Amino acid sequence: MELLIEYFAKGLMTMLMIAMPCVLTAAGIGLVVGILQAVTQVQEQTIAAAPKIFSVFLVIILLGTGYIKLLSNLFNEGAVIAFDVVPKSDDFVLPSGYYNYTKPFIDEIKFDTKKDMTPMSHILNNAARPQGSTQKEKFNFLRNGATDIPTPNLAEQKVINENKR
């Protein structure tokens, strides 16, 4: 368990090491632009955004290879833990007879194969014809017994009844 907590802490430290230069650069540029705006009395919000975006983009370009190395080292260490350390450790592995007397997720498995699956012979015989092309199949595939033909509203029903006379 300590191994997983240690790896989680390394992940948080990697995240901070990647984010901090960008955040500090944006904060520094924001402070400088804020001081300049206070001196010149130009209070425009969009003036501060462009230098921040440009500087953070520049930091990402300059430090990007270091970020990639940090992330790849973290990924490689996680893969070693997942595939080499955990399977060989008795603390993480269940005993071999664990599922002999228990059925995990048995309540969640409610799949009736006879009801939910279409017979293979029906699929093979009707492969060229699109599903739901006959009127009977259209009604079978519609949900809640609804029809694909909308019912007319009251005004339309009056016009239909007048045309029938």
Are the CB atoms for 27 and 65 separated by under 8 Å?
no
Confidence of residue 160 (pLDDT cuts 50, 70, 90): confident
More confident residue, 25 or 100: 25
> Across the chain, what does the average pLDDT equal?
78
Among 26-35, 90-99, 103-112, 139-148, where is mean pLDDT lowest?
139-148
Q: What is the pLDDT of residue 22?
A: 95
Instruction: Write down the pTM of the prediction.
Output: 0.50
Q: What is the pLDDT of residue 165?
A: 72
What average pLDDT does this structure show over 58-79? 94
Confidence of residue 93 (pLDDT cuts 50, 70, 90): low
Q: What is the pLDDT of residue 82?
A: 84
Confidence of residue 4 (pLDDT cuts 50, 70, 90): confident
Are the CB atoms for 21 and 63 separated by under 8 Å?
yes
Tens-place pLDDT, residues 34-68: 898 889 888 787 788 889 999 999 999 999 999 99
Nearest to 140 by CA among 130, 131, 152, 150: 131
144 pLDDT above the threshold of 80: no
What average pLDDT does this structure show over 70-87? 88
Q: What is the pLDDT of residue 121?
A: 66
Coil, helix or strand at residue 146 = coil
Q: Give, in order, the Cα–Cα distances in Å from 56 to each of 28, 62, 134.
A: 11, 10, 60
Are the CB atoms for 52 and 26 separated by under 8 Å?
yes
